[in-house]
Amino acid sequence: MLTATCKAAPNIAVIKYWGKRDEELILPVNDSLSGTLSTDELCAKTSITADTTFTEDKMWLNGEEVTIWDNARLKNCIEYLRGIGEKKLTDKSVLNYKLHICSENNFPTAAGLASSAAGYACFVYTLATLYGLENQELTAIARLGSGSACRSIYGGFVQWKKGELADGSDSIAVQIAPASHWPEMHVLILVVSDARKKVGSTVGMRLAVENSELLRFRASHCVPKHTEQMKQAILNKDFATFGEITIRESNQFHAICLDTYPPCVYMNDRSHSVSHFIHKYNENAGEVKAAYTFDAGANACVYLLENEVAKFISYLNAYFPNDESPSDEYVRGIPVQPNPLSNSDLQSFGLSATISKNTFKYIIHTKVGEGPQRLDNNESLLGADGTPKNLKS
Ligand code: PMV
């Protein structure tokens, strides 16, 4: 019996991927760039066991059995990796063993984070580890699961190069810098209470590619420039530039969504009030100290340096008061001690009174972290008989 257990984290794009030029191979119309989050706060965990006695491939997702072969994307990832195994492995017998796959993610569903990125990255990394192929090019395989998953194959700051070739072989992710290059880079995820159903990214992207003229201009003119500036900002640890491009990119991505016919609206009034607050915060600081970015949902992700977190949360709590604050349930993850603010601090900040109570359900405090990691076999989600240790009753 062969077994492997690994974990991987989601990533938050600062240069957004939006639009495919090939839907089946998941090839994007533009490059994108993200920070992979630390697995300490948010992660997907996958265990895979392969054995000669298994009679069929089986998969359990968050405690419930799902059918593997109905899922074309999962199937593509498995077949592609087995294809690499056929070429690289001396003993290929393991490639014929049936698989038991068990995967869980610890994300609060309301966090609105693309669990698919961490999930597919973790799945591909775990299967590659099981086969002894973890040093192969895995990003193009994770991409077949979910585009943004290719960036979660590495930690730190990662660029997904769109590539030019029709077969997608050059559409891969590369690490720009490891997390250790800029360990002060922290992230706050502001989970807003409103969880309205949104247009999924596959449909939103398809419509945008079909009919947004701005998307074409963005892909050819804006993204190449932003990507180069962003890479330099990361290498120079220049937060002001990093932050400004992050904000501009988020706004431009949502402008494309509005330019789509019919429009895809992901941000809501609460999202806009966060954006307004952050612009005021940066104006008062005299430079960009906090950078918001929104994906295909209403929750804000804020990049900021570690030494800014306490001050930022103090002002955030003042302008967005919450009945749960202060508590570990409200600000989860890395502990933070907000600074007390005086009346004059609040007056000079210049935003009129509080916006509304309980704007956020809770906040997750995390940081940019390492890529996927293999865990000890005793952390496996599968028991010695190859069935899940925890099943939903
Ligand atoms: O990989 P998908 O299909 O979940 O698309 C992700 C798209 C965004 O999150 C909005 C942007 C990005 O680059 O991650």
Residue-wise pLDDT for 359-389, tens only, equals 999 999 999 999 999 999 999 999 999 999 9
Structure tokens at 344: 């004059």
Residue given tokens 């119309």 in the structure block: 29
pLDDT the model gives residue 381: 97
Length of the chain: 393
**Does position 265 have pLDDT exceeding 80, yes or no?**
yes
Residue-wise pLDDT for 86-99, tens only, equals 999 999 999 999 99
pLDDT band at 112 (very low <50, low <70, confident <90, very high): low
Q: What is the mean pLDDT of the chain?
A: 93
185 membership: H or E segment, kind and range? strand 185-192
Residue given tokens 């920070």 in the structure block: 35
pLDDT the model gives residue 111: 57
Residue-wise pLDDT for 142-187, tens only, equals 999 999 999 999 999 999 999 999 999 999 999 999 999 999 999 9
Instruction: Name the amino acid, one letter, at 353.
Output: A
Q: What percent of the chain has pLDDT over 90?
A: 84
On whether the CB atoms of residues 251 and 266 are closer than 8 A, the answer is no
Domains of the chain: 2-181+374-379 (3.30.230.10), 185-367 (3.30.70.890)
Ligand 1 centre to CA of 281 (Å) is 27
List residues near ligand 1 (CB under 6 A). Answer: 13, 16-17, 32, 114, 116-117, 146-148, 201, 295-296
**Does position 226 have pLDDT exceeding 70, yes or no?**
yes
pLDDT the model gives residue 69: 80
Instruction: Give the DSSP per-residue string, 263-309.
Output: PP----HHHHHHHHHHHHHHHHHTS--EEEEE-SSS-EEEEEEGGGH
Pocket of ligand 1, candidates 120, 146, 201, 294: which has the most ligand atoms within 8 Å of its Cβ, to mutate? 201
pTM, two decimal places: 0.96
Ligand 1 centre to CA of 94 (Å) is 33
Residue-wise pLDDT for 305-350, tens only, equals 999 999 999 999 999 999 988 888 899 999 999 888 998 998 889 8
Residue 360, strand partner residues: 192
pLDDT the model gives residue 326: 83
pLDDT the model gives residue 110: 55
Angle in degrees, 0-180, between the axes of helices 72-88 and 115-131, rounded to the nearest 10: 30
On whether the CB atoms of residues 350 and 284 are closer than 8 A, the answer is yes
Residue given tokens 């068990």 in the structure block: 102
User: Atom of ligand 1 at shortest distance to CA of 149?
Assistant: 1
Q: How many CA atoms lie within 13 A of 285 on its CB side?
A: 17
Whose CA is closest to atom 9 on ligand 1?
295
Q: Is 318 helix (H, G, I), strand (E, B) or coil?
A: helix
Q: 58-61 and 98-105 as β-strands: parallel, antiparallel, unpaired? A: parallel
Region 273-291 average pLDDT: 97
Whose CA is closest to atom 6 on ligand 1?
148
Pocket of ligand 1, candidates 295, 301, 303: which has the most ligand atoms within 8 Å of its Cβ, to mutate? 295
Pocket of ligand 1, candidates 17, 162, 301: which has the most ligand atoms within 8 Å of its Cβ, to mutate? 17
Q: Determine the Cα angle at 109 with ends 106 and 115, to 5°.
A: 65
pLDDT band at 115 (very low <50, low <70, confident <90, very high): confident
**Does position 108 have pLDDT exceeding 90, yes or no?**
no
User: Atom of ligand 1 at shortest distance to CA of 12?
Assistant: 14
User: Atom of ligand 1 at shortest distance to CA of 202?
Assistant: 3
**Does position 109 have pLDDT exceeding 80, yes or no?**
no
pLDDT the model gives residue 194: 53
